Chains A and B, each alone.
Chain A
Amino acid sequence: MYKIFLCFRYLTRKGIVLFPVLAVWLCVMMLIIVNSIMTGFVNRVRDAGRSLMGDVVIQSDSMAGFPYYRQLQKRLALLPQVKASTPVISGYGLFNLPEFQVNTGVQVMGVEAGSESKVSSFGSSLFWQYKAPMQAVADLRGAGFPTTRTKLLAYAQKRLLAAAKIEATRQQHYANLKPIGNHAWFASIRQHWQVIAHEDYQQAVYKENRADRDLRMVQALPNKAFSSAAALRQAMVPKAPSFTPPPQAANRYLTGADEPKNGCVIGVDLGLYKRDRFGHYHRPPGVRFSPVIITMVPVTMKATLAQPQSRRFVIVDDSRTRVYAVDSKTVYIPFHVAQKMAFMQRQDLLAGGVRPGRCSEIQVLVRHDSSENNILAARKAIAHVVHQLELLHPQMEIAGIRVRTWDQVQAEYIRAVDNERNMITFLLGLMSLVVVIVIFLIFYMLVRDKTRDIGIIKAIGGSEEGVGVIFLLYGMLISSAGAILGLCTGVSFVRNDNWIHDHILWRIFGISIWNRKIYVFSKIPDQIDPHAVMWIVIFAILAGLVGALIPAILAARQDPVEALRYE
């Protein structure tokens, strides 16, 4: 059709249309980037929350928890939907690390390391027991498989040497940075270079530490051959995480024979580790295996505070769930210890009889073909089991037990973040309406500029609708071109946002928007929501249509004779 043909000609031969194309392009790109990052953020928070607590949580309203949890667990195990469950004690406490003079209020979680790891991501959140070996396996892939322990050792040694060499050169480079001129402006550049050089140096140190750690891990391996990376992983990563410190560590730090040799796991953001701009944690030597004192304040059944309970522990590991609120406030200790400290253990009463042991919550993992509905159904079945047990034990009923899915537990928080995302996208979208105005203005100019052409087209038989459609189509073509460009660049920007951020924004311009020291996620979270992207593109194309509407009507109404007289 001549309309499409003319549109294309106008599009390719009129420079001015580049402006609305550019405007649409930038807006679409911006919306896609913002939406993707917010979506990524919301989903990360959701997933992190889920991996913290399993699929369904049975919780008591009372700080004193609820009894008969073992019985409940046994009954839950009979449900076909339930895969695993684990009891948790949670309470408030004080965390004291005498050697580093750290004193802070914490949330104390008493967990059964083994079963907890089945239900939540507790096991895989541990650095020394899980992440470090996993990293080591990845690092040692370079040795090639199948391999022997001797070969691995040689390879790890070589890596360590190479890393040390790089570290030395980086340090040299950092030290050798010379001033370039004495103007204040040069000084700020030099400062930035220094920061970068220092960062490079830190990265090199990090790599060296890692190589060193890997070497130690290889040294601790059994002397045998490994057929594949998986086999090596199996040898390195323990099946079940534990709180038990290695004997030498325990002997070294614990005083008094009567002290139980218990370990604890600290949240990674508790403040003991430094974090660099790349999100790497720098674990100062000495934190691991240092003794700590944890004090818990038990709450009695009558909701009064009892005598505070202090115990000594040894830090055996750190946990990173990626939820800052958790990692900055939580210390994990063995379940049975926490139970005693919180006065929730089984007790023989003076008056005769037994007070049953209690826990704060039970986390349940649902058998996983877990769609949302699946989990909801499981929740119902679990609630039913709880209810039946409550009928047997009135004490349980008093505890006010609630059964909720992971989604329900964090619903309020997630909803807030989700609303935020929608609001920001909406507000930016509203701002993007400027595009409509830009298109309107340019089209208004264009219609005036093309007045004569309109007369010609009508003189050779083009109809009013035809002329109107030319401009509408033209508007749509412009916005589509902008939208497609925006889509491509937006998506590729989102795909590479971390690289762009680190290499272009930071290295060249010294701008750091995503500070990993502050944010929980070491990478900018990004997830392209195809649905949202689709709407953004559709709205952008419609914006072109709306902007072109009035000029198109004016063009359609243009009197051909007048248009032809127009000079």
Chain B
Amino acid sequence: MNSTLTTADSTARKPMLELSNINKTFRLGPADVRVLCGAGLTVFEGEFVALVGASGSGKSTLLHIAGALESADAGSVMFRGQDLSRLSRHSRHRLRNHAFGFVFQLYHLLPELSVLENVLLPAMVCSPWYKACIRARPGKRRALELLEQLGLKDRLRHRPSQLSGGERQRVAIARALINEPSLVLADEPTGNLDPKTGQTILDVLRGLHKGSGQSILLVTHDVHIAAQADRVVTLQDGKIVDSTL
């Protein structure tokens, strides 16, 4: 196991996501880009981990592998005791839908949908009937709750293009949380925002973390942001090299 996991504090809690010995190489014609070689990382239940590293060091790649969006060349990804590489396609979809919530640097909202519809989309994906989600109380109520919590109560019918960057990111966060995932995977959510707005977004994430105890794996290259996490891990040369508490 990697040295990063040997803290007394972390062994006391249950590990939620365990990445070990992850290798990933992108083949671009003649030149291979070796991005990850033997990276390992554990996120515990209810933990807020910040992943830092230089640009191009492979942070996003690691996050995608952790979120079952991409598969590793070698190594294992365990989520609550199940090996992601062994899962059927269907279970992976379910996992992405229920267990993980993604937040991206570029928000990635669907431009044709309103704020409310964007937030509800993951809930619709998991429900067999569109009606069951958009009409039925629980899904919609939760979406409204989230949006109110994030201060977007009166923007429900707006389109993403009518919102500012910070507001869009808050919508993206609401979308990531609608299915009450156990782990939020945020890829530089503040990267595109000014420091002040970025801090607000981080406060929102931290508030949620404190409130409902969701685990967060946050990728950033901003030291100030990273410092507010429970733990900071650093990715360098394809490996996790440092972890602070």
Judge whether B134 is part of the interface by a CB distance below 8 angstroms.
Answer: yes
In the complex, chain B residues 3-30 whose Cβ is within 8 Å of any chain A Cβ: none
B117 contacts A by Cβ under 8 Å? yes
Interface residues on A, range: 20 to 34
- In the bound assembly, the distance between CA atoms of A462 and B69 in angstroms comes to 11
The smallest C-beta distance from A265 to any residue of chain B, in angstroms, reads 70
Contact A2–B89 (Cβ < 8 Å) = no
Chain B residues with Cβ under 8 A from A564's Cβ? 69, 104, 108
Q: Type the 1/0 row for A454-474, where 1 means its CB is closer than 8 Å to any CB of B.
A: 011111111110100000000
Cα distance A564–B104 in the bound complex, in angstroms = 9
A464 vs B93: C-alpha distance in the bound complex, in angstroms? 9
In the complex, are the beta carbons of B102 and A460 less than 8 A apart? yes
Determine whether B59 belongs to the interface, using a CB cutoff of 8 Å to chain A.
no
Question: What separation, in Å, do the CA atoms of A9 and B122 have in the docked complex?
Answer: 16
Residues on B with beta carbons closer than 8 Å to the beta carbon of A456: 108-110
0/1 per residue, A490-512, Cβ < 8 Å to B? Answer: 00000000000000000000000
Contact B93 A461 (CB under 8 A): yes
Chain A nearest CB, measured from B145 CB (Å): 19
Contact with A462, one of B93, B102, B104, B127 (Cβ below 8 angstroms): B93
**In the complex, A13 has a CB within 8 A of chain B:** yes
**Is the beta-carbon distance between B69 and A460 smaller than 8 angstroms?**
no
Interface residues of B in 112-130 (CB under 8 A from A): 112-113, 117, 121-122, 124-130
Given A2-B130, A561-B70, A564-B108, A460-B64 contact (CB < 8 Å): no
A2-B121, A561-B64 known; A459+B69 contact, CB < 8 A: yes
Q: How far apart sit A2 and B110, CA to CA, in the bound complex (Å)?
A: 13
Given known contacts A2-B130, A4-B130, A561-B70, A460 and B121 CB-to-CB distance under 8 angstroms:
yes
Question: Cβ of A9 and Cβ of B117 under 8 Å apart?
Answer: yes
Q: Would you call B98 an interface residue if the criterion is a C-beta within 8 Å of the partner chain's C-beta atoms?
A: yes
Interface membership of B215, Cβ < 8 A: no
Cβ distance A328 to chain B, nearest Cβ, rounded Å: 63
Closest to A560 in B: B69
Whole-angstrom CA separation of A564 from B60 in the bound complex: 11
Inter-chain contact A453/B102, CB cutoff 8 Å: no
Q: Are A5 and B69 in contact (CB under 8 A)?
A: no
Q: Which of B97, B104, B124 gathers the greatest number of chain A CB atoms within 10 Å? A: B124
Query: In chain A, residues 439-489, which have Cβ atoms closer than 8 Å to a Cβ of chain B?
Result: 452-453, 455-464, 466
Q: Assess whether B90 is interfacial by the CB under 8 Å rule.
A: yes
Which residues of the other chain, A, contact B94 by a CB distance below 8 angstroms? 461
Residue A68 at the chain B interface, CB threshold 8 Å:
no
CA distance A560 to B63 in the complex (A): 13
B137 to chain A, nearest CB (A): 18
A1 in contact (CB, < 8 A): yes
User: Across the interface, do A5 and B97 meet the contact criterion of CB distance under 8 Å?
Assistant: no
B112 to chain A, nearest CB (A): 4
The smallest beta-carbon distance between A9 and chain B, in angstroms, is 5
Chain B's closest residue to A5 (CB) is B130
User: Which of A5, A9, A461 is close to B96, meaning CB atoms less than 8 Å apart?
Assistant: A461
Q: Which of B70, B112, B125, B130 contacts A460 (CB 8 A)?
A: B125
Tell me the interface secondary structure of chain A in the complex: helix
Say yes or no: B102 contacts A464, CB within 8 Å.
no
B168 interfacial by beta-carbon distance below 8 Å: no
Cβ–Cβ contact A460 & B129, under 8 A: no
Residues of A within 8 A of B129 (CB): 1
Bitwise, A7-27 to B at CB < 8 A (1) or not (0) is 001100110000000000000
Residue in B112, B117, B125 whose CB lies within 8 Å of A461? B125
The reply on B175 being an interface residue by CB < 8 A is yes
> Residues 183-227 of chain B: 1 if any A CB is under 8 Å from the residue's CB, otherwise 0?
000000000000000000000000000000000000000000000
Whether the Cβ atoms of B110 and A461 lie closer than 8 Å is: no
Residues A459 and B96 in contact in the complex (CB < 8 Å), given A5-B130, A452-B108, A464-B89: yes
Q: Known: A1-B128, A5-B134. Contact between A561 and B112, CB under 8 A? A: no
B125–A466 contact, CB under 8 A? yes
CA distance A520 to B131 in the complex (A): 57
A68 vs B32: C-alpha distance when bound (angstroms):
103
B113 touches A9 (CB 8 A): yes
Closest chain B residue to A1, Cβ basis: B130
Among B96, B117, B126, B134, the most chain A Cβ lie within 10 Å of the Cβ of B96
Complex CA–CA separation, A462 to B67 (angstroms): 14
A3 → B minimal CB distance (Å): 8
Contacts of A460 in B (CB 8 A): 96-97, 102, 121-122, 125, 175
- With most chain A CB atoms within 10 A of its CB, the pick from B69, B89, B117, B128 is B69
Q: Assess the B126–A14 pair: CB atoms within 8 A.
A: no
Q: How far is the CB of A316 from chain B (nearest CB, A)?
A: 75
A458 and B69 contacting across the interface, CB-CB below 8 Å? yes
User: B122 to A13, Cβ gap below 8 A?
Assistant: no
Which of chain A's residues has its CB closest to B187's CB? A564
Q: Pull 20 A–B residue pairs with CB atoms less than 8 Å apart, ordered by A.
A: A1-B129, A2-B124, A2-B130, A6-B110, A452-B108, A453-B110, A458-B69, A458-B96, A459-B102, A460-B97, A460-B122, A460-B175, A461-B93, A461-B96, A463-B89, A463-B90, A466-B93, A560-B69, A561-B69, A564-B104
* Beyond known contacts A460-B122, A461-B96: 7 more, CB 8 A cutoff: A2-B121, A460-B97, A460-B121, A460-B125, A461-B126, A462-B93, A466-B125
> Footprint of A on B, CB under 8 Å?
64, 67, 69-70, 89-90, 93-98, 102, 104, 108-110, 112-113, 117, 121-122, 124-130, 134, 175
Which residue numbers of A lie inside 8 Å of B, CB to CB? Answer: 1-2, 4-6, 9-10, 13-14, 452-453, 455-464, 466, 560-561, 564
